[in-house]
Structure 1
């Protein structure tokens, strides 16, 4: 299977998603549309991963609009998609739903709580890395998957093929360090009240990778 990854900033890569792809012998192609302007075609995409970034789906940029054209083409073909933060927002924006400022800027570690049983054997509570101040609406056709105390709309699942998360399960320890050392000014004014040192001291929960793999398995079942 060819997995096309859309990466939107140098310090937010696919992380543990690459481990999952390697286990299953999938080929991964990473695109940087914000930098080079190239996107894969829908015909050459067996699965799409849309990562986070500092931009907003509401920004008036041609490549952001072109991403949504790709997303729509894949929705029409029922191709698996996994969106993270900005990536999840892009999916909901493509479906016609709003992306707005969230009730609170969340940057750092905080629990998320499972809100749906549609994916079996997910824990009721997980500690996730948050790095956002916007949020998506939950599409009418989708199910709310996760919430946090500060922001209700933290995750959704749609038609057994699409998952969007407002937070991050994909970063491993090296990835977290990369995010913090390059984007530490963004931590300011977070409702979570954590410093860069606080974020770096936290060990990435082992459970996050297991749950990430379970979600990726779920959207690629019976392909």
Structure 2
């Protein structure tokens, strides 16, 4: 399987998604459209990963619009897709739904709560890394997958092939440190009231890797 990853900032990479790909013997290709402008073709994509970033799907940038063209092609072809944060918003926007300001800016570690059992084996509550102040609209036909205490739309699953997450399952501990040391000014104004040091000192829950693997297994199952 060829996994194409759209990375949108240097400090938010595929993290544990790369571990899953390696464990299954898949090839992983990372694109940086914000810097180089290149995107994979739909024909060369068996699984698309759309990562987070500081931009918004509402920004009028040509490469952001071209990403949505690719996403629509893959939706039409029933190709598996996982979006994280901005990535989930891009999927929703591609389907014609608005991306809006969230009720609260969440930056740091906080729980999310499972809202659907369509993906087996996901715990009722998980502690995850939040890094956002916008949110997607759950597309018609999709199931709400996760909610947090302050933001209802934290995850959705669509047609057994697409999962969008407003938060981050993918970072390892070193990835969290990379996010914080490079983007720490963004923490200001978060309702979670965590410092950069507190965010970095919080261990990545082992179950996050397990659930991420379950999601990837689910959307790629034959």
**How high is the TM-score relative to the length of structure 2?**
1.00
Q: Distance in 1 between matches of 2:54 and 2:201?
A: 24
- Displacement of 1:140 in angstroms is 1.0
- Displacement of 1:85 in angstroms is 0.1
Q: Distance in 2 between matches of 1:27 and 1:71?
A: 20
2:78 aligns to what?
A: 78
- Cα distance per residue 1:29-62 (max 9 Å; x no partner): 0000000000000000001000000000000000
Q: Counterparts in 2 of 1:47-126, with a 5 A limit?
A: 47-126=47-126
- Displacement of 1:121 in angstroms is 1.1
Confirm or deny that 1:16 pairs with 2:2. Answer: no
Q: Distance in 2 between matches of 1:15 and 1:117?
A: 25
Confirm or deny that 1:134 pairs with 2:134. Answer: yes
Gaps of 5+ in 1: none
Q: Distance in 2 between matches of 1:132 and 1:189?
A: 11
1:34 aligns to what?
A: 34
Gaps of 5+ in 2: none
1:171 aligns to what?
A: 171
- Displacement of 1:79 in angstroms is 0.1
Q: Distance in 2 between matches of 1:40 and 1:141?
A: 27
- Cα distance per residue 1:93-147 (max 9 Å; x no partner): 0000000000000000000000001001110000000000000000011000000
- Displacement of 1:178 in angstroms is 0.1
Q: Distance in 2 between matches of 1:22 and 1:203?
A: 23
Superposed CA RMSD: 0.3
4+ residue segments displaced more than 4 Å: none
Paired residues, number? 222
- Displacement of 1:214 in angstroms is 0.2
Q: Counterparts in 2 of 1:185-200, with a 5 A limit?
A: 185-200=185-200
Secondary structure of 1:65's counterpart equals: helix
2:203 aligns to what?
A: 203
**How high is the TM-score relative to the length of structure 1?**
0.99
Q: Distance in 2 between matches of 1:204 and 1:83?
A: 20
Q: Distance in 2 between matches of 1:60 and 1:19?
A: 34
Secondary structure of 2:43's counterpart equals: helix
